[in-house]
Amino acid sequence: MLPFSRVTVVGLGLIGSSIARAVKAYMPTVRVIGYDADPEVREIATRISLCDDVTDTPGAAVIDADLVILCVPVGAMGAAARDFAADLPADAIVSDVGSCKVSVVEALAAALPGAIVIPAHPVAGTENSGPEAGFASLFQHRWCIVTPPEGVSGFAVERVKEFWRQLGAEVETMTPAHHDLVLAVTSHLPHLIAYTIVGTASDLEEVTQSEVIKYSAGGFRDFTRIAASDPTMWRDVFLENKEAVLDMLQRFSEDLSALQRAIRWGKGDELFDRFTRTRAIRRSVIEQGQDDSRPDFGRAHD
Amino acid sequence: MLPFSRVTVVGLGLIGSSIARAVKAYMPTVRVIGYDADPEVREIATRISLCDDVTDTPGAAVIDADLVILCVPVGAMGAAARDFAADLPADAIVSDVGSCKVSVVEALAAALPGAIVIPAHPVAGTENSGPEAGFASLFQHRWCIVTPPEGVSGFAVERVKEFWRQLGAEVETMTPAHHDLVLAVTSHLPHLIAYTIVGTASDLEEVTQSEVIKYSAGGFRDFTRIAASDPTMWRDVFLENKEAVLDMLQRFSEDLSALQRAIRWGKGDELFDRFTRTRAIRRSVIEQGQDDSRPDFGRAHD
């Protein structure tokens, strides 16, 4: 049973283009319509046959849809929804893929009064951006978190969940506020830290940038990967999930100060204890299939 | 031309066992002797035929060597060297693989007065530990930094450099102090940050540990990898390279505070500028072969 038959993707970047590809790959009879505010992205999407049709206006993209998925930076959700509000069919379900949910729920409710809005967040991505960076298997074995508003039809929620299951994702449900707290620690804080350390390294006077790059295999390299993520998307995430991010950042800074103090005062036992505890988490990440166990830190050249 | 014909590896963990394997793979006529202070490690090394011989005492391991490489945690270098000092041939070269060099140079000079000591640091590794975690190709296309003390024979330095080249590494020379500063930013600070964030995440009350693990593909996962590194090795690195690590940590904290302030006051342009600059570094890391460009953040399951 296909949950939807006419899916519209608004925003054809990494995630939007991966959804388009995944629908064509796993639900080949479903019609996929695409729209992007950037004419260049629309042109690329048309050239690489990403969708069955790419429209020149947002209204034309949604007019016949039974599911519309917003795949734009979280700060642009409200405006993107307003642009097609007048043409949205009354029975269409609107969803999104934003990395924070409280602000998106508010923005979509304001932009689309009376519409059926069921936000979601597939926890998947790569450090690359744009319509050519997507791939159909991106959501396979990844979690998709659905945050249904109170009072919404259970059948509508089930259709959105089934849509993500058919793209290969595991589906979980939580409130928007809890989602934003969980993601603040598992995704937003790591990105902020990675952006910071890569910035710190590039500002040093005593160590040249060429040295930083040459010797990056010692650990720094792993941070450059996530610090290469899309700047617009991440600017919006930090602005829109401000409270949860600042809370996590405060805890992180306290913990870092404690380690700093242990180093300054030569407290080896305290460092050892701390470094031992973190191994168990790594084991669980691997056991639960969220990473593989092959040593990757010293990535082999094929 | 082989730079050495009888190599002794003291400490048969990830790096020591990789050196033993690499010598057997790329210099098959060279005799490799191994020693480890842990009888269980010696037994494993013997069982898996890691070396031509594994001795029960450090003295027996070095007695016939022309190169002795210390592959123990940096805080254990002095004691490990003292244990074989009496049996070290006068013309043998002693080297090591420690992640910081100023303290190791001092410790080895004190433990081995009159010996030829030429420290080195292969910038390579994985998050796994122990004699079975090593592999012969670990050093291929990785940098090895040699830090020759003043006044040492240029020919001896050249032999150590040639040894690393034959294991597949690119070799660079610098002073111990500069090495420690460069590695503080490219390796020590990243590990400290990763250990911290994984600890912070596991201490939360509002978010369960199972949620942290489930949604780790959003970025957190990349930190668990390096936070799974050997606790003893890293405790020693932070204690022995204290000044450089604390300096880098101070700079990092200032930069993090600036971003925190930008988030609190909603300064989107400042965030965007910062997040844009870091992409160029990522590009260089890939161009210089220190990582590959395949998107790995959303690791595919084969």
% of chain B residues with pLDDT over 70: 96
Contacts of A220 in chain B (CB under 8 A): 185-187, 190
A294 inside domain? no
- To the nearest whole number, what is the mean pLDDT of chain B? 93
Q: Is the pLDDT of residue B295 over 80?
A: no
Kindly determine whether residue B209 and residue A281, on different chains, have CB atoms separated by under 8 Å.
Answer: yes
Q: In a mutagenesis test of the B interface, which of A186, A239, A287 is the best target, namely the one with the most B β-carbons within 10 Å?
A: A186
B160 shares its domain with B188: no
Nearest to A14 by CA among A169, A136, A96: A136
Q: B88 CA to chain A: closest CA distance, Å?
A: 31
Contacts of A128 in chain B (CB under 8 A): 295
* pLDDT the model gives residue B271: 96
The residue from A174, A194, A212 where one domain ends is A174
Q: Is the pLDDT of residue A1 over 90?
A: no
A240 shares its domain with A278: yes
| Lowest mean pLDDT, pick from A196-210, A221-235, B279-293 | B279-293
A141 shares its domain with A185: no
Contacts of B288 in chain A (CB under 8 A): 213-214
In which band, very low, low, confident or very high, does the pLDDT at B280 lie, cut at 50, 70 and 90?
confident
B62 shares its domain with B157: yes
Please tell me the total count of domains within chain A: 2
* Cα A104 to Cα A71, A120, A149, A236, distances in angstroms: 12, 10, 11, 11
Rounded Cα distance between A271 and A229, Å, is: 31
A225 inside domain? yes
Q: What is the CATH number of the domain that holds A193?
A: 1.10.3660.10
A293 inside domain? no
Domain that holds residue B256: 178-287
Cβ neighbours of A49 (radius 10 Å): 10
A208 shares its domain with A127: no
A103 shares its domain with A167: yes
B127 shares its domain with B200: no
Kindly determine whether residue B190 and residue A197, on different chains, have CB atoms separated by under 8 Å.
Answer: yes
* pLDDT the model gives residue A226: 84
Q: In a mutagenesis test of the A interface, which of B15, B132, B215 is the best target, namely the one with the most A β-carbons within 10 Å?
A: B215
Averaged pLDDT, A143-161: 95
Contacts of A248 in chain B (CB under 8 A): 200
B118 shares its domain with B96: yes
A189 shares its domain with A251: yes
Q: Which residue has the higher pLDDT, A133 or A284?
A: A133
A298 inside domain? no
The residue from B174, B198, B225 where one domain ends is B174
A52 shares its domain with A151: yes
Kindly determine whether residue B298 and residue A183, on different chains, have CB atoms separated by under 8 Å.
Answer: no
The residue from A153, A174, A195 where one domain ends is A174
Q: What is the CATH number of the domain that holds B81?
A: 3.40.50.720
A105 inside domain? yes
Residue B201 and residue B100 in contact, taking contact as beta carbons nearer than 8 Å? no
Q: Out of B195, B197, B206, name the one closest to residue A275 (CB).
A: B195
B202 inside domain? yes
pLDDT digits (tens, 9 = 90+) for B234-268: 999 999 999 999 999 999 999 999 999 999 999 99
Q: Which ipTM value was assigned to this complex?
A: 0.89
Its sign, for the CA torsion A182, A187, A193, A199, is negative
In which band, very low, low, confident or very high, does the pLDDT at B222 lie, cut at 50, 70 and 90?
confident
Q: Is the pLDDT of residue A290 over 90?
A: no
- Closest-approach residue (CA) in chain B for A196: B256
* pLDDT the model gives residue A298: 43
Phi/psi for B34 (5° steps) reads -120, 150
How many interchain CB pairs under 8 A, A with B? Answer: 366
B21 shares its domain with B152: yes
Rounded Cα distance between B251 and A171, Å, is: 41
A147 shares its domain with A60: yes
Averaged pLDDT, B274-302: 70
Kindly determine whether residue B255 and residue A133, on different chains, have CB atoms separated by under 8 Å.
Answer: no
